[in-house]
Amino acid sequence: MQIIHHAKELRTLLDDTRRRGKRIAVVPTMGNLHQGHIRLVETAVARADFVVSTIFVNPMQFGRNEDLDKYPRTPDADIEKLAAAGCDCLFVPPVDDIYPGGLEQHTVVSVPGISERHCGASRPGHFDGVATVVSKLFNIVQPDTAIFGLKDYQQFQVIRKMTADLCFDIDIVGVATERDRHGLALSSRNGYLSDAEKQTALCLYGTLTQTAGRITQGERDFRALERDATQTFLAHGIRPDYFNICQADTLAPATAEDKRLVILTAAFVGATRLIDNIEVPLTE
């Protein structure tokens, strides 16, 4: 596996790869890789001839008082895992390679509407940072396909809309959330949790699945279901940020007429903010 730090060098490599008729996939990450990330790489390997993974802890998507400085960084372990998964190239750019003039004067890519709800409401500017760095990576790599995890479902839909709106000719692929044997969604932030907090955090997915079951059984008072879920979190010592039942593509509040739903949640277990979701397709 080649390790490259600068965009010019990566472009030279990929120009040659493209001339040889190879299909290129990109897997953007912020490092501290777990099995969920590796599943993305394995999906990319199955769909392309040449796989580029990126590791970049993007300062533009972190707000004030968020965990940029303490975000876990495990470069040696990440390299070992990516090589074992069949990644061909790792791109690890320095911040000044991505934002050479600094953040304050940098062009920002903003995806209206879908970015403003849920995590966008709780973390203003977060998805502007995501959309900006992903669009830059797309321009640097110029991949045929890009692989993202569905654990951050809103991020996935923001990137899908950005890709369509900006006419990127890239196939955007979502991969199902990887969970531990108890159902907890794998996340780099799980490392902040104590053993007791990990047990408490299981309530997130449990409440999602219980609410999804009530919907499939015919309940349609979505706002009441959201309130019930919030009360369940509070009863377990979890501080809810939001628990929202949405139309699966627009992420607008679901109505009784919608047939494709997703339930999105974010909540604090101790000091750690976790996100999770579950899709609820309806046939009636």
Q: Let me know if 118 is a catalytic residue.
A: no
Residue 254: which residues within 8 A CB-CB, separation 6 or more? 222, 245, 246, 247, 261
Q: Within 10 A of 31 (CB to CB), how many other CB atoms are there? A: 22
Residue of 5, 6, 34, 37 with catalytic role: 37
Euclidean distance between CA atoms 80 and 93, whole angstroms: 18
Residues classed as catalytic:
37
